[in-house]
A = this chain, B = another copy of it.
Amino acid sequence: MHLVHVQHKLREQVDEAGGANRERFRAAGVHVINLMSAPGSGKTTLLERTLAWAAGRWRVAVIEGDIQGDADAARLAPFGFPVRQINTHGACHLDPRQVALAAAELELESLDLLLIENVGNLVCPAEFDLGEEERVMLLSVAEGHDKPAKYPLMFSTADLLLLTKWDLLPLTDFDAGIARRAVQALNPHLEVLELSCRSGLGLDAWLHWLDHRLEHGRLNRLGQAHSHPHGEA
């Protein structure tokens, strides 16, 4: 019983850190997205395409989560946006306290968008609130249509699902109908987009989805500035 109590308290501290991050991000007016998937579903490639599009449009920063190394941060550095690398040193997910430390090195008030790439893992990252506004998850068609039924939590808590590597579809047994029905049963509000960063299919739809959110945030900030003309809102 004592162990359970201590674990419960530790877990509360983690959850509180996620909530504190969210307050901090909202106060700064930065839209935060937690990008999650199994290893190799294409998160970093999606970030490359997204940063290339965002240049000159939106002010973006990236927090990269990896067990070790900075290979992904190195891939994203050439786009000219701030990139912070978190190494979890064996841990299978990002912790909101790690995100708070990385975010403290960024000028949040000068950002429109903060993209957090979680550790590649279809299970554990979904259990941890990093303070994000939205969760975007990726499922590569090479992984199979049975994944929503077998790994339900991430699908249940995501706001957008990208079915990636769509160009591989003809060479797989992936049945998009089965995947969509399984996802619908878990999370009726989950939007689903088909995407191939290789062929470019669906990239417009993803960027439009993102642009819409950032434009909405910008209008909100303008509205706040208007109603508090002398404030810092």
Which of A22-30, A54-62, A139-147 participates in binding chain B? A139-147
Task: List, in ascending order, chain B residues with CB within 8 A of A201's CB.
Answer: none
Task: List, in ascending order, chain B residues with CB within 8 A of A20's CB.
Answer: none
**Neighbour of A146 across the interface among B38, B71, B144, CB < 8 A:** B71
Q: Is A149's CB within 8 Å of the partner chain B?
A: yes
**How far in angstroms is the closest Cβ of chain B from A149?**
6
Task: List, in ascending order, chain B residues with CB within 8 A of A92's CB.
Answer: 92, 121, 123-124
13 further A-B pairs in the complex, CB-CB below 8 A; given A38-B40, A167-B171: A3-B3, A38-B120, A40-B144, A68-B152, A71-B149, A92-B92, A120-B122, A120-B151, A121-B121, A121-B122, A121-B123, A123-B124, A142-B165
Among all A-B residue pairs, the 7 with the closest Cβ atoms: A40-B143, A142-B142, A92-B123, A38-B39, A39-B122, A40-B144, A3-B6
In this complex, the interface size class of chain A, counting residues with CB under 8 Å from chain B, is 35 or more
Given known contacts A38-B40, A39-B38, A142 and B124 CB-to-CB distance under 8 angstroms = no
- A39/B152 in contact, CB under 8 A: no
- B67/A151 in contact, CB under 8 A: yes
**How far in angstroms is the closest Cβ of chain B from A158?**
15
User: Which A residues are closer than 8 A to B by beta carbons?
Assistant: 2-3, 6, 10, 38-40, 66-69, 71-72, 90, 92, 119-124, 140, 142-144, 146-147, 149-153, 165, 167-168, 171-172, 198
**How far in angstroms is the closest Cβ of chain B from A147?**
6
Task: List, in ascending order, chain B residues with CB within 8 A of A38's CB.
Answer: 38-40, 120, 122
Q: How far is the CA of A10 from the CA of B2 in the complex (A)?
A: 13
- A67/B123 in contact, CB under 8 A: yes
**How far in angstroms is the closest Cβ of chain B from A99?**
18
Q: How far is the CA of A167 from the CA of B198 in the complex (A)?
A: 17
Task: List, in ascending order, chain B residues with CB within 8 A of A152's CB.
Answer: 67-68
Closest to A164 in B: B142
- A142/B168 in contact, CB under 8 A: yes
